[in-house]
């Protein structure tokens, strides 16, 4: 399956309600920035990273795909995924300017597209190619009802609606003030009852003292995890927080490499592991993190930079994955959406990685790549 062409693409898809915000970001569209890889045998694979739909920086990613990665891939066997991963990740010139950031986001799109090709060539959904189904169901938790920009009454109503729809897990954003966020957390817990898991996400906003103060009061509300409580790279701070609170610390969406995760593992600074195929260099690297987490008996909850289009396959195939995030912004842009029924993700059936765009999405949301 020799690679014939590598073509970048950009889609900008509106988010729920036109705009959302957490403690750090305000987003109106989600960027699906990726690569279309065609083989001489006629199989086409698609992969993408997820962005805030900032076109100038999205175009930096597509420029990297087109000018840096594509020349290294043309004529190569698309099925040699591990070898090609190292060829791109350890290319001396790209390693000099990259190892994280734009080069890794571009690599993520390439790697996912290669897995998509491999699964399509085998006429199997990716989860089957990865070794098969290890669980009957993948539990979904709903993040889309919990943005920090949502007023209190609407937040409570959204949480109740999600539970009525079958979700057994909710996540809400924190990172404004301790007082406001504790009030909102208590309101949601009261509204959904004790049998629904309730996680929180700070998006790296607070310092250690603020997190400690918040956690002392929040422990009584049975918080499932506290995601990104501190700045993303602060290993020491996360380890200190983990030692003084009973609330499990979750993180990983902003980590680019296995080495970054390794330090959090070594310092016992993480309880829930959240790698993302769109942040790291694709499925190949995320599988390494999942295997390491499993060796430490730590649960994995992949972060949904892909809105779970790819991660649903990983969640069904890898024993470490326990729950999966539901944000429905882009799911209907693909030939097999990552749908949730009765609180669980549907098992994908089509060959591939779930990354093939529909013709209508291609026409409606496509942006210029340069």
Catalytic residue list:
173, 303
Residue 281's nearest CA partner among 126, 101, 33 is 101
Task: Give dist(CA 53, CA 61) in Å, integer.
Answer: 12
| Whole-number Å distance between alpha carbons of 338 and 230 | 30
**357 HSE (CA, 13 A, CB side):** 24
Tell me the longest C-alpha to C-alpha distance in the chain. 60
Q: By the 8 A CB rule, do 50 and 306 touch?
A: yes
Cβ–Cβ under 8 Å, residues 191 and 158 = no
**How far is residue 112's CA from residue 90's CA, in Å, rounded to a whole number?**
18
Tell me which long-range contacts 176-184 makes (C-beta under 8 A, separation of at least 24).
Answer: 176/23, 176/148, 178/210, 178/213, 178/214, 178/217, 181/214, 182/214, 182/217, 182/218, 183/152, 184/152, 184/155
Determine how many CB atoms are found less than 10 A away from the CB of residue 360: 10
Categorise residue 4: left if φ over 0, alpha if ψ from -120 to 50, beta otherwise: alpha
Q: How far apart are the C-alpha atoms of 48 and 278, rounded to whole Å?
A: 7
Give the dihedral of Cα atoms 132, 137, 139, 142; nearest 10 deg: 90
């Amino acid at each position: 399956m020799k690679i014939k062409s590598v073509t970048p693409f950009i889609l900008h898809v509106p988010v729920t309600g036109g705009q959302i915000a957490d403690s750090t970001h305000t987003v109106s569209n989600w960027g699906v920035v990726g690569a279309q890889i065609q083989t001489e045998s006629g199989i086409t694979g698609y992969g993408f990273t997820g962005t805030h739909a900032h076109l100038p920086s999205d175009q930096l990613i597509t420029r990297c795909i087109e000018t840096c990665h594509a020349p290294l891939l043309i004529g190569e066997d698309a099925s040699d995924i591990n070898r090609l991963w190292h060829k791109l990740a350890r290319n001396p010139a790209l390693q000099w300017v990259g190892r994280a950031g734009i080069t890794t986001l571009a690599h993520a799109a390439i790697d996912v597209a290669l897995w998509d090709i491999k699964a399509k060539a085998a006429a199997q959904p990716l989860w089957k190619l990865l070794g098969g189904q290890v669980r009957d169901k993948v539990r979904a938790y709903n993040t889309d009802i919990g943005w920090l920009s949502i007023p209190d009454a609407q937040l409570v109503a959204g949480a109740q609606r999600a539970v009525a729809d079958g979700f057994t897990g909710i996540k809400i954003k924190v990172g404004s003030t301790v007082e406001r966020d504790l009030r909102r957390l208590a309101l949601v817990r009261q509204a959904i009852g004790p049998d629904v898991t309730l996680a929180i996400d700070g998006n790296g906003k607070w310092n250690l003292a603020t997190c400690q103060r918040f956690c002392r009061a929040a422990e009584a509300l049975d918080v499932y995890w506290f995601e990104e409580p501190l700045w993303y790279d602060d290993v020491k701070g996360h380890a200190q927080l983990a030692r003084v609170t009973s609330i499990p610390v979750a993180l990983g969406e902003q980590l680019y490499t296995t080495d970054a995760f390794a330090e959090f593992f070594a310092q016992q600074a993480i309880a829930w592991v959240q790698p993302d195929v769109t942040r790291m260099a694709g499925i190949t690297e995320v599988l390494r993190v999942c295997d390491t987490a499993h060796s430490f008996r730590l649960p994995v909850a992949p972060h949904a930079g892909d809105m779970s289009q790819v991660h649903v396959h990983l969640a069904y195939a890898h024993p470490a994955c326990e729950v999966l995030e539901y944000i429905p912004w882009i799911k209907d842009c693909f030939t097999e959406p990552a749908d949730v029924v009765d609180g669980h993700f549907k098992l994908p059936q089509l060959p591939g990685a779930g990354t093939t765009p529909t013709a209508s999405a291609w026409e409606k949301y496509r942006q210029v790549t340069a």
